[in-house]
Amino acid sequence: MEARFVFSFLCITVVCVHSSPSPLEDIVVDKYYVPKICSRTVASGDYVRYHYNGTFMDEKKFDSSHDRGTPFSGQVGLGKLITGVDRGIQGMCVNERRKLTVPPHLAYGSVGAGDVVPPDTTLVFDVLLLDIWNMADKVQTSTISKSQDCKRTVQNSDFIRYHYNGTLMDGTPFDSSYDRKQTYNTYIGEGWLIKGMEGGLLGMCVGEKRNIIIPPFLAYGEKGYGTEIPPHASLTFDVLLVDLHNPKDDIVVDNEVVPESCSRKSVVGDFIRYHYNGTFLDGTPFDSSYQRNNTYNTYIGMGYVIAGMDKALQGVCMGEKRRITMPPHMAYGENGAGEDIPGSAVLVFNIHVIDFHNPKDLVDIQIIHKPEDCNLTTDGDDLIHYQYNCSLMDGTLLFSSNDYENAQETTLGADKVIDGLDEGLRGMCVGEKRVLIIPPHLGHGVNGASGVPASAVLHFDLELLGVQKGVPEGYLFVWLKDTPPELFTVLDINKDKEVPLEEFTEFIKLQVAEGKGRLRPGQDPEAIIKDMFKNQDRNKDGKITAEELKLKVEEDAEKAQHEEL
């Protein structure tokens, strides 16, 4: 109702009251709809917004805020409304509907209101209350639900991300971040939000849901905002805090599970393999290496991963588990990453370090048991028998000699096993037990092998069961003592100046038995001796002569000191 109506009514009321000594009729209030929930009612001094239809007693309409599309706003109890309406809306709840029958002396009296309301007219107002507020109001907050694990709350200068539904006091929605499918992201305490929202968000925990009611003077005031928020509108927000951080934040490492044995911690330049689950602060998952059934493999401290992860992976032990909370400026920043990680998102990684190594690492040999009597040790070219278990550093068993009927056999230096194992098997005594930690460049490398992941550090439990001393590659027999000066003379046992296979075999077996020479282990001695004989029998007549032996020795003059013959 316009101000001129109010002014006219006030003047007429004085005249009517003093000119008529009889009692005057009061307003009639019909509360035909009262909401079940009513947290507040209109009191004197409150500001209100309401829609109305104004009719005469014959239901003829003379005014309507609905027709204008703009609700009426005013203050109650201070004579700024016609008296009948002023009285009739007190005690109303938001969304309540009342029909007010206002007699003339409480409306526009004997004067009326221009050409709209005749003198001495009873008026009927159908009122729908939309809003109540008072200049003494403050922001009202109520917690709908709260995370049990709340280590930190929103403070000024924090950057936050939150979802919200915004409605007017009558429940009319005006905005929703859910509809846009993205959070609202902003700093707190720097004037980027309406005052009431800044105050209402303070003290919230991530995962907390809060209802915030903001009076107009702490929202968009007398001007409103666009077409969605009318002037003098109180606002209500249902807010879900998704995450928060401060630009000064560093990574936070907690929930650490460190193995009892940790001989070494990771450093810059190491290559690491680890599993992880990645979530946002509210627990929503965005990625997991477990789902791909592959570890994430990278170098540390060289910029191959986001800064927060690069830092968090330094100083870890093999087998360690830890949770890393990472602010966005140490993760994917204000732009996020693809569709999975939104801008300015705080990330949480639960990681499990499988192993790490450095390209300069050697085989780590740990002697678990060594017999007191250890006069003979393994070396290159030796034929050895051993037992082993091979596993990853997290304990996953890959291979075991127990899977075979017989112990494993290999010749050291013959490229029959991975380099790290060949190295770790050297210098062992029979009965000795060792643990080997083999970096991938001495194992199965960056490509791995059947059953062995790429770039995997390997753990071997070894026990040496037996050793047969070997001969250099390309040799069948070596002298362990000086070669006899007149070799053919000692070979020619019957002194007939010819050495057949039988004499040659008898001689070689004697040298082995007396410890003067050694045959290549792991093969049939008879076959080896026969091959040796063929090598000396130059003309293939089944006999070795002094001349044939001499020619052979001259050809091999540049070989190692303990040559064949």
The CA-CA-CA angle for residues 453, 457, 463, to 5°, reads 110
* φ, ψ (nearest 5 deg) of residue 301: 70, 20
Cα separation, 204 vs 194, whole angstroms = 17
Tell me if 499 sits within 8 A of 529, measured CB to CB: no
Residue type, 557: A
Q: Which one of the listed residues 120, 187, 194, 238 is annotated catalytic?
A: 194
Cα separation, 406 vs 494, whole angstroms = 44
- For this structure, is 237 an active site residue? yes
- For this structure, is 418 an active site residue? no
For residue 2, which of 65, 92, 45, 57 has the smallest C-alpha distance? 65
- For this structure, is 504 an active site residue? no
Residue 227: is it exposed, middle or buried by C-beta count within 10 angstroms (0-12/13-18/19+)? exposed
**Range list of H helices, 20-129:** 65-68, 83-88
Cα separation, 145 vs 164, whole angstroms = 14
- For this structure, is 340 an active site residue? no
Q: Which one of the listed residues 50, 72, 164, 460 is annotated catalytic?
A: 164
Q: Which one of the listed residues 56, 62, 174, 296 is annotated catalytic?
A: 174
CA max distance for the chain: 169
Tell me if 141 sits within 8 A of 210, measured CB to CB: yes
Q: Which one of the listed residues 56, 120, 175, 493 is annotated catalytic?
A: 175
Q: Which one of the listed residues 125, 237, 271, 477 is annotated catalytic?
A: 237
Contacts of residues 491-494 at CB distance under 8 Å and 24 or more positions apart, as own/partner, are 491/544, 491/549, 492/546
Q: The tokens of 340 are what?
A: 């999975």
- For this structure, is 437 an active site residue? no
Contacts of residues 135-138 at CB distance under 8 Å and 24 or more positions apart, as own/partner, are 135/47, 135/217, 137/215, 138/215
- For this structure, is 62 an active site residue? no
Cα separation, 483 vs 347, whole angstroms = 75
**Range list of H helices, 188-228:** 195-201
Find residue 209's DSSP bridge partners.
Answer: 145, 240
Cα separation, 356 vs 404, whole angstroms = 30
Residue 405: is it exposed, middle or buried by C-beta count within 10 angstroms (0-12/13-18/19+)? exposed
Angle between helix 501-513 and helix 525-536 axes, rounded to 10 deg: 120
Q: Which one of the listed residues 159, 220, 349, 507 is annotated catalytic?
A: 220
Q: The tokens of 48 are what?
A: 């209100």
Cα separation, 53 vs 516, whole angstroms = 125
| Residue 485, phi-psi category: left (phi > 0), alpha (psi -120 to 50), beta (remainder) | alpha
Q: Parallel, antiparallel, or unpaired: how do β-strands 235-245 and 285-288 relate?
A: unpaired
Q: Parallel, antiparallel, or unpaired: how do β-strands 296-299 and 271-280 relate?
A: antiparallel
Active site residues: 164, 174-175, 194, 220, 237
